[in-house]
Structure 1
Amino acid sequence: MKRISFLFIALSFVATLMAQSSHKTQNVILVTIDGFRWQEMFNGADSSFINNKQLVEDAANCGKKYWDNSVDARRKMLLPFIWDTIASKGQIYGNRTKGCNVNVKNTYWFSYPGYNEILTGYADSRVNSNSFGPNPNISLFEVMNKTPKYAGRIAAFASWDAFNDILNEKRSGLIVSAGFDKVNGMDSDSKMNLLNSMQTQLPDIFHGVRLDGVTFNMGFEYLKTKRPRILYLSFDETDDFAHGGRYEDYLNSAHYTDDFLRTLWNWIQSDPEYKDKTTLLITCDHGRGEGPIGWRSHGTETANSNQTWFAVMGPDTPALGEMTSGQYYNNQFAKTMAALLGFNFETPNPVGDPIVSVLGK
């Protein structure tokens, strides 16, 4: 009996080690592109928008950069990294024309509720305003930041200053640089000091929202210098340009955000600490309406602006490319990221289930 018990314990120990080692992901980078539609994600630029003088001043120039009669060609013109690299090495979800649907679970279809859902896994009906204040819900990052393994090794860089509340910076203790927050504690000769100054020396075209190029470079510099286990980058310009009816700028912003991803991934794959140990997850907080007027808006009064998408690439995620079936929700991302890291994420709220296809199951 003792031999059997010992054998059972030994096998259980081996099984536990195998389960732990089966998770190759040791780091996660989450990127959100505010209000970027699945239509442009999967179909590229819309010619009816390009040729609408109210949305694009120079249709010829915009068309030269982003238009081709082939869907495959024009979406690669807009998002070359996503459609060359992630499409071949990862998974992309949300092409509704092919039967793969992604939606928000919250009933509001705008930013604060959308980000709360992504980060906490819970679509809270109380969170009903972009000026809601400190988030009562606990994010995955906050829970992980309370553990010895991840404490102080999680950082968020966001163009929109509301993320101080969305991530409840004061309660969570997370490192958050949102809006025009400076990043302190870097070496005196760090590029971060230049970026700290630069962010307030550029035109404030979105009235309190930091330009995405600054947000990216601050986050990238932090990644290279401080080596976090989890990094969150939140970009905002696509939503701001869409609300302003500036379609070419909306496309330009998406295009150079795609280049941020390329730069980020190339560095990750060149660094031994991150290479083949890092999962990249990209998504959006909400969709947009359809047509030249509906596209500028979102929310419950704008039909179909609850439609989203996501893309993922990493060592645990099979290279399945563009997915063509299934229904997925933004409230599933928190547990999916946790599962990739071998972490059990639980809160008092009901949290969306992990996406098994991302986990290779």
Structure 2
Amino acid sequence: MKKIFTYLILSLAVFSCSNNDKDETVKVEDKYQTKNVVLLVVDGPRISETWEAPDKGNIPNRVSLLSQGVFISNFKNNGTTNTNPGHSAMCSGVYENIKNNGTELPGYPSVMQQWLKSTGADKTKAWVIASKDKLEVLNDCKLADWKGKFQPSVDCGVSGNGSGYRDDLVTMTKTKDVMQKYSPNIIVINLKDVDSYGHANNWNEYIKAIKTTDASIKELWDYIQSLPAYRDKTTLIVSNDHGRHIDAKGGFAEHGDDCTGCRHIEFFAMGPDFKKNTIINTGDYEQIDIASTIAELLRIPMQFGKGKVIKDAFK
């Protein structure tokens, strides 16, 4: 009788531990509803022409979409305020002063590479789609044991080693084609027209490009919600690689220094795990935090990133 009683106690203990382990696994798996992340980088607007413009008149779609998302009003690029370093910081979580012409790889693996290694997924499940061909370097890094491995798919500009740019309309079409055909879980998109017209010192076309890009953000969000593979399980993050000079530092035509116009950038996000109708103006969130936040949402370790998870934006 004593042996039977002891056996029952041990059996109950094992059953209890097994259930606890199972419950813990469920909690980890259910922590976030996000299964896919799309990072859309609007290349080079000043915050003074977007979220801080009078009546926010250049971004009516984002203003409307804020009811579904969260905006951080004091988000910064604290690294080099140029295109390739800015994109690299968002993807790797490390600030580096890499060359801006597409001839230098980032030093550390991107969140895309780390996700591909962690999941063992096919390269068609992670993409870099950019209007600037020089951003093709985002699919690799210099670090030993990572270089040439776990590389996401790319569709960047046209051939030309830094000179083969294409219109954002083409990039948007390519993005939708890739989403329809491959259903990637992680996509990084670059739209360059705002930056191009800024460098051309064409104020009217620069503002027009900001408005067009704003419409593209809504178009992309609506497309995400139209696809069963993405609807209600996808996070869209909108940010910038850099801003532009304030007028006292030379004006909107250029960028690249540490003035407030170059450093102050956008963070706007929508998705099943983010707050809604929320503006955050506290904290010290910055560009390198994007990679850590994507890794958190996709449940992978961020081995080399220096940023933090933007938890204040989460529900």
TM-score tier by shorter-chain length is 0.7 to 0.9
In the other structure, the counterpart of 2:29 is 20
The structure 2 residue matched to 1:116, chosen from 77, 88, 91, is: 88
The structure 1 residue matched to 2:266, chosen from 300, 309, 326, is: 309
Alignment of 1:341-356 (within 5 A): 341-347=298-304, 350-356=305-311
The structure 2 residue matched to 1:136, chosen from 107, 112, 125, is: 107
In the other structure, the counterpart of 1:256 is 212
Deviations 1:104-146 (A, max 9, x none): 132x221111111000001125x25434422231000011122
Query: Is 2:176 the counterpart of 1:220?
Result: yes
Query: Is 2:43 the counterpart of 1:34?
Result: yes
Shift of 1:263: 1.6
Alignment of 1:49-128 (within 5 A): 71-72=54-55, 75=56, 77-85=57-65, 87-94=66-73, 101-106=74-79, 108-125=80-97, 127-128=98-99
Distance in 1 between residues matched to 2:111 and 2:265, nearest whole Å: 21
Identity across matched positions, percent = 24
Shift of 1:149: 4.1
SS in 1 for 2:189: strand
Please say if residues 294 and 302 of structure 1, whose CA atoms lie closer than 8 Å, have aligned partners that are also in contact.
no
In the other structure, the counterpart of 2:239 is 283
Distance in 1 between residues matched to 2:152 and 2:123, nearest whole Å: 9
Deviations 1:205-228 (A, max 9, x none): x95311111111111111122211
Shift of 1:351: 2.1
Please say if residues 135 and 167 of structure 1, whose CA atoms lie closer than 8 Å, have aligned partners that are also in contact.
no
SS in 1 for 2:40: strand
SS in 2 for 1:136: coil
In the other structure, the counterpart of 2:253 is 296
Please say if residues 239 and 266 of structure 2, whose CA atoms lie closer than 8 Å, have aligned partners that are also in contact.
yes
Deviations 1:184-224 (A, max 9, x none): xxxxxxxxxxxxxxxx9xxxxx9531111111111111112
Q: Which amino acid aligns with 1:334?
A: A
Query: Is 2:283 the counterpart of 1:326?
Result: yes
SS in 2 for 1:282: strand
Please say if residues 29 and 281 of structure 1, whose CA atoms lie closer than 8 Å, have aligned partners that are also in contact.
yes
TM-score by length of structure 1 reads 0.76
Distance in 2 between residues matched to 1:129 and 1:240, nearest whole Å: 15
Query: Is 2:154 the counterpart of 1:176?
Result: yes
Gap runs ≥5 in structure 2: 1-8, 142-147
The structure 1 residue matched to 2:296, chosen from 339, 342, 355, is: 339
Distance in 1 between residues matched to 2:105 and 2:271, nearest whole Å: 32
Q: Which amino acid aligns with 2:311?
A: V
Aligned-pair Cα RMSD in Å: 2.3
TM-score by length of structure 2 reads 0.87
Distance in 2 between residues matched to 1:343 and 1:359, nearest whole Å: 17
SS in 1 for 2:124: coil
Distance in 2 between residues matched to 1:156 and 1:341, nearest whole Å: 17
Gap runs ≥5 in structure 1: 45-70, 95-100, 182-199, 201-205
In the other structure, the counterpart of 1:357 is 312
Please say if residues 28 and 278 of structure 1, whose CA atoms lie closer than 8 Å, have aligned partners that are also in contact.
yes
Distance in 1 between residues matched to 2:180 and 2:280, nearest whole Å: 32
Shift of 1:353: 0.9
Q: Which amino acid aligns with 1:353?
A: K
Q: Which amino acid aligns with 1:167?
A: N
In the other structure, the counterpart of 1:60 is none
Alignment of 1:3-18 (within 5 A): 3-4=12-13, 6-18=15-27
Please say if residues 242 and 296 of structure 1, whose CA atoms lie closer than 8 Å, have aligned partners that are also in contact.
yes
Please say if residues 134 and 165 of structure 1, whose CA atoms lie closer than 8 Å, have aligned partners that are also in contact.
yes
In the other structure, the counterpart of 1:269 is 225
